[in-house]
Chains A and B, each alone.
Chain A
Amino acid sequence: MSSSEDPYALMEKWLKAKEFLVVGKGVRRADALEKAMGQARFVEDFYMPGHMLFIKQVLSTEPHARILGIDASKALEVPSVEGVFTAKDIPGENQVGYALPDQPLIAEGKVRFAGELVALVAAKDFDKAIEAAEKVKIMYDPLPYVLDPLEAMERKDILVHGEVGSNIAFRTKVRKGDIEEGFSKSDVIVENEYRTHHQDHVYLETEGALALPELGDRLTVISAGQYPHLVRAIVARVVGLPESNIKVIIPYMGGGFGGKDDEGPLVAAKAALIAKLTGKPSFLMYTRDESMLMHPKREATIIKYKSGASRDGKLQAIEVKIIHDTGAYSNRGPFILWRATVHASGPYRVPHAKVDGYCIYTNKVYQGSYRGFGNPSVQFAAEAQMDSLARKLGIDPVELRLKNLLRPGDLTITGQQLNESVGVADAVAKLAKVSEWSSKIKAYSSSNGRYRRGIGIGVAWHGISTSRGVPDWSNALVKIEKDGSVSVHTGIVEMGQGSPVSSHRQIASEILGAPLDVVTVDFGTTDAPDTGATHASRGTSIGAIGVYVAAAKLRERLNKLASELLGTSPDEIEIKDGKAYLRSNPEKYISWKELIKEAYSRGVEMSATGYFFLPKGKFNDEAGQGYAYPAFSYVAMVAEVEVDTYTGKVRVLRIWPALAAGRIINPTQVEGQVEGAAVQGMGYVLMEQFVFDNKGRILNPNLTDYVVPTALDAPEIMRPVYVEDIFKYGPFGAKGVGEMALIPAPAAIANAVSNALGVQVTKLPLTPENVYFLIKEKMGKKA
């Protein structure tokens, strides 16, 4: 590598760019045409019935039981059945836990929740696979079970995982200063217990995978997933093959929202297992009820939160206890809990903080990754605390926040100093203006009658990249082909968010000076270098760094070549509009196509990878202090609601979002993310809810009884306020966006309802029933 291709130097150079060809513009996504024509291919569209095995899953009906035996004899009599497969048939390891080694792919010895996979049935005929699955008999010896996380914490006689010796799967903590001192300096103290519930992703496309065995013990798997290299690692572990024997392709996906980062590798492993065992192409597509019964949910939480502030409105101390009901398996629970723990303060300066997190096993469906990843629940609690403090102090809620919001140079509760890219206070001030906060909060405080209006604010932060300095990197392969077209190869997937089909193309085009329409992105494949996952809002913010660096390396080579051909220095070369020319004399040029031809004939390599390893600090788990993230994205939201006090029905009328997420590469796609996340958040707060029976079974695993917002429920969403607080390691200074608008939505909507009714909401969801009882309770207090 020549020194001119040092990634840090290249990033610094391009960060200084002031004028852009395509960055910052609402460029159309490359996949829109084929999707509008119904031609885009998703996993299920590759299935060829009659030529492949169809797989059906047999799920546990018990919340906690020993498996005494499995009788497959009747199932095997069904015509076209290829086999019934259980844990004992797994040639590799039956272990798929991401954080802790506590989770089998197929239940072994015992089941830990109703909905757990016990056996797989494969048949050539779809109907026969279903018929046979119904004939598999599982003999259970029921065990006592525990559903409530508070009860589970205390019990030693009922253990979800006997070998752990307790139902506490994982603990986290943050310690800063001395909370006793902080509370003694506080003139007001508020203390509340908050509860939030599970949420299902309801991606329109359920989980699916098609595994194609090839000669020489190789496998190609077309699968759902948010990280092709992770899908491959899990498949390799389960089927017992080297990773290099397995190729994973993640085609267009009908939504992911985090859920397919957890369940994608598992559905792939199931299909791959059957393909490996039978030698036949094998296909598995979850039905909607399987998807809702099996895949991990947004964490359900209990958060005990005590905050103190001095009379001048300065936060002095917080004490927070976070309990996550992780269900039967920890899955990504420890990572989710970490994120909640280090974000517990909200984006504020808090001198004294004590935060404890508990990840608790129960005999229910397990928790997992969902847009926001542990943060929406804890920001809801933190922001309800801010409103409670504001009420007690007699300070306007926005003003109170502005007094405490983090600014450049401040320390977070983990003691990390944030020196740059902290635009949150600016964003909140601007948001208050555009939403006409001051006049509305005054007008609605005297709201009376049946329909009451309210306005509320939620402010949040979200660390970019993995928590606590865990290694993270980006990469991509960028090639300029002989004809001048450009191909980008990345592991980032396309699940609707649009980073490969929009921002990746823009970044490659911008840096190379190549016309946008010659840039094609090959996404979601293990053929690309390991790019990390498409989660944690990192698709563009970190995923595209690889594209940025690789393209910058190629640009250096092109500038050098063009300068030699045109007889000038590399710095004098401009490349755009299909040609490379002298900045001082645009008449002196060589066309883009000619330039690339010259590169090939003169031995200049026209492919480059863009590996970048994010520099990070360390977190000290013992001390509960240290480095948490390379940067934070900030988001704020104002929500205006109307509450029908007769029925308890809440309508969100309008939402104003604000983002301090660094450079906005594509405002159109960013708005799409903000709008979608805001409505997903609204659904979570107002209507989405699982109902569990007394055995912890989900009673509403379908879209009739689990209700998500329609076009009639969605509010008006205003154009976002952007504060472009540039982050030095983001492509052109970008930070993450995808999750952001969901994170403050529970806080903003709940605070608006609180303000409309003159109560403090502490429990979600705000279904008509729950709001009705809130109103009744308040009236009872008055009487």
Chain B
Amino acid sequence: MKIPIHFILNGEEVSVEVEPNELLLNLLREKLGLTGPKYVCGIGECGACTVLLDGEPVLSCLTLAVDVDGHEVTTIEGLAKDNELTAVQKAFIEEAAVQCGYCTPGFIIMIDKLLKENPNPTEEEIREYIRGNLCRCTGYVNIVKAALKAAEELRKNTSLIKIKK
């Protein structure tokens, strides 16, 4: 049984037919060609498949595709606007928070979200927020550094805008 669904994906409308048991991760990767979200554990333990659903992080390996009907999905591919990287993406590159890169999309999505909720997080708050994302390469040191740096950059930019006003 195919079910038609319509949703906004990275700012663009998408109409597609899915199976009732089809996972959002598989829909994104296999039908829509967005391979940024990764399959790692398949059971919601690692966060590598994290995407935003109406702005909230969800695990796309545990989300049914039919459930995004009428909603808005953002993947790692949709974060950079007009080829301008987000502060978190830039900080990941600058702070060497990227090694193998498999966990990177999930971490960037999460930290992007964290900084929207909390523009001035402590190291402890960052670690707490990303505890559901696994990385096997970095020991988390540079990921945390990148989050702190991105937060600082974002605060600087916001204060600049304020001054301009």
State the A residues within 8 Å of B (CB). Answer: 26, 28-29, 31-33, 35-42, 44-45, 47, 49, 201-206, 252-255, 257, 287-288, 495-498, 668-669, 671-672, 675-680, 702-704, 708, 710-712, 714, 717
Contact in complex: A35, B140 (CB < 8 Å)? no
B134 at the interface (CB under 8 A from A): yes
State the B residues within 8 Å of A (CB). Answer: 29-30, 34-43, 45-46, 48, 75-77, 79-80, 85, 89, 92-94, 96, 98-105, 108, 126-128, 130-144
Closest to B96 in A: A668
**Shortest beta-carbon distance from A671 to chain B in Å:** 8
Contact in complex: A672, B76 (CB < 8 Å)? no
Give chain A's interface secondary structure class.
loop
Q: Could you list 24 A-B pairs, sorted by A, with CB under 8 Å? A: A31-B98, A31-B101, A32-B92, A32-B98, A35-B98, A36-B104, A37-B89, A39-B77, A203-B100, A204-B46, A204-B102, A204-B135, A254-B38, A255-B102, A288-B40, A288-B42, A288-B43, A496-B137, A679-B139, A680-B136, A711-B126, A711-B127, A717-B139, A717-B141
What are the residues of chain A within 8 A of B141 when measuring CB–CB?
Answer: 671, 675, 714, 717
Q: Given A255-B100, A711-B130 in contact, is the A675-B89 Cβ separation under 8 Å?
A: no
Contact in complex: A204, B139 (CB < 8 Å)? no
Contact in complex: B138, A672 (CB < 8 Å)? yes
Query: Given B30, B77, B89, B131, which contacts A712 in the complex, CB threshold below 8 Å?
Result: B131
Contact in complex: B93, A38 (CB < 8 Å)? no
Q: A711-B131, A714-B127 are in contact. List 5 more A-B contacts (CB 8 A).
A: A32-B96, A37-B77, A38-B104, A204-B136, A252-B101
**Shortest beta-carbon distance from B75 to chain A in Å:** 7
A206–B29 alpha-carbon span in the complex (Å): 16
What are the residues of chain A within 8 A of B139 when measuring CB–CB?
Answer: 675-680, 714, 717
What are the residues of chain B within 8 A of A708 when measuring CB–CB?
Answer: 134, 136
A669–B99 alpha-carbon span in the complex (Å): 9
Q: Given A38-B105, A44-B39 in contact, is the A679-B100 Cβ separation under 8 Å?
A: no
What are the residues of chain A within 8 A of B46 when measuring CB–CB?
Answer: 204, 703
**Shortest beta-carbon distance from A261 to chain B in Å:** 15
**Shortest beta-carbon distance from B74 to chain A in Å:** 11
What are the residues of chain A within 8 A of B98 when measuring CB–CB?
Answer: 29, 31-32, 35-36
Contact in complex: A40, B136 (CB < 8 Å)? no
Residue from A40, A45, A47, A201 with most neighbouring chain B CB atoms (10 Å): A40
Closest to B95 in A: A668
What are the residues of chain A within 8 A of B135 when measuring CB–CB?
Answer: 204, 711
What are the residues of chain B within 8 A of A668 when measuring CB–CB?
Answer: 96
Q: Given A253-B100, A496-B101, A675-B139 in contact, is the A204-B40 Cβ separation under 8 Å?
A: yes
Contact in complex: A714, B140 (CB < 8 Å)? yes
A287–B103 alpha-carbon span in the complex (Å): 17
Closest to A741 in B: B139
**Shortest beta-carbon distance from A267 to chain B in Å:** 16
**Shortest beta-carbon distance from B122 to chain A in Å:** 13
Q: Given A38-B75, A254-B102 in contact, is the A28-B136 Cβ separation under 8 Å?
A: no
A254–B102 alpha-carbon span in the complex (Å): 5
A41–B137 alpha-carbon span in the complex (Å): 18
Contact in complex: A496, B80 (CB < 8 Å)? no
**Shortest beta-carbon distance from B8 to chain A in Å:** 18
Q: Given A29-B96, A36-B92, A38-B105 in contact, is the A287-B127 Cβ separation under 8 Å?
A: no
Residue from A205, A671, A677, A717 with most neighbouring chain B CB atoms (10 Å): A205
What are the residues of chain A within 8 A of B75 when measuring CB–CB?
Answer: 38
What are the residues of chain A within 8 A of B138 when measuring CB–CB?
Answer: 672, 675-676
A250–B132 alpha-carbon span in the complex (Å): 29
What are the residues of chain A within 8 A of B85 when measuring CB–CB?
Answer: 36-37
**Shortest beta-carbon distance from A374 to chain B in Å:** 21
